[in-house]
Amino acid sequence: MIKTPERDSSWMFLLGACLILVLLGVRILSPFLCALLAAASVALLLAPVYRSWAARAPEHSTAVAAALTGLVSLLVAVPLFLGGWTILREAAEAYPAARAWLEDVSQPGAPAWAPPPRWAGVFDVARSRVSALKMDPREIVLANLDQVSSWAGMFARTLVKDAVFVFLNLAVFIASLFLFLRDGPRMVRRAAGLIPLPEEKKEHLLSRVRDVLSAVVNGVFVVALLQGALAWAGLALFRVPFAVLLGALCVVLSPIPFVGSALVWVPVALAMLLSGAAA
């Protein structure tokens, strides 16, 4: 086939129009990308359950998808609002409590705090090292507490101001989860049909992508949630203040390589040991 300039111009125009449509679609959906990604991740986790239930009642596959979506919505919405309110309340209480404790300890007439005898040597070495570095732990802690407090206040104001946006994201999550559960395989097949590869290579590519996505979802998000839940349970068991807030921090910090949630529970454990609470 002989290519003419007019034909090349037509292809360039169509390609440019497709790119513009893709960019506009991304721009329109950008406020809801988190909800869409969360729905896709949950649908990927629930895909085996949906296939098993739908195989028993093929004529009621839509009802099965709706039932799973409703169950997940309850399991997500209720902890989201209750846990979010508790986290904001504890974040608001943690800053003044920590600041008041530091100020009480730093007062000249305050009784000197002494660690348990078995930790006295370690504490003396650490205090000498800090003094040699000319660091003021109180100022460092207060500066970080100020940052955390300002972040929590800004997050609370944003959450209240954008309550409608939060509900819209929840609605997008629910609707997307239902569609991904019911029509996910069909969407994948249609997208795979656009790939210019032989069928066996398409299947191999889709299988690898599916395995990678499952590993990421199970290895990052699920593990982060489990670590946060276990951290909250352990902290609540030992009656550590602000256990829900610390558990939420474990979820956020869990994906960090090598350290992860240890950035939260190790300082808490050291504080309990030094104060004698875990003796």
Q: Which of 66, 57, 77, 25 is nearest to 179 (CA)?
A: 66
CB 138 within 8 A of CB 102: yes
Mean pLDDT by 10 residues, the chain (279 residues): 57 75 77 81 82 82 86 76 70 68 54 55 60 61 63 64 75 87 82 74 78 76 84 84 80 80 81 61
pLDDT at 9: 65
pLDDT at 278: 52
**C-alpha dihedral sign at 4, 10, 16, 18:** negative
Q: What angle do CA 179, 38, 72 make, to 5 degrees?
A: 65
Q: Is the pTM higher than 0.85? A: no
Query: Which tokens belong to 175?
Result: 């609707």
CB 190 within 8 A of CB 206: no
Q: What does the alpha-carbon distance between residue 159 and residue 29 come to, in Å, rounded to a whole number?
A: 20
- CA distance to 10, 92, 98, 268, per residue, from 148 (Å): 55, 10, 12, 17
Q: What angle do CA 183, 187, 190 make, to 5 degrees?
A: 140
pLDDT at 231: 86
Identity of the amino acid at 138 = R
Q: What does the alpha-carbon distance between residue 1 and residue 207 come to, in Å, rounded to a whole number?
A: 36
Exposed / middle / buried, residue 192 (Cβ in 10 Å: 0-12, 13-18, 19+) = middle
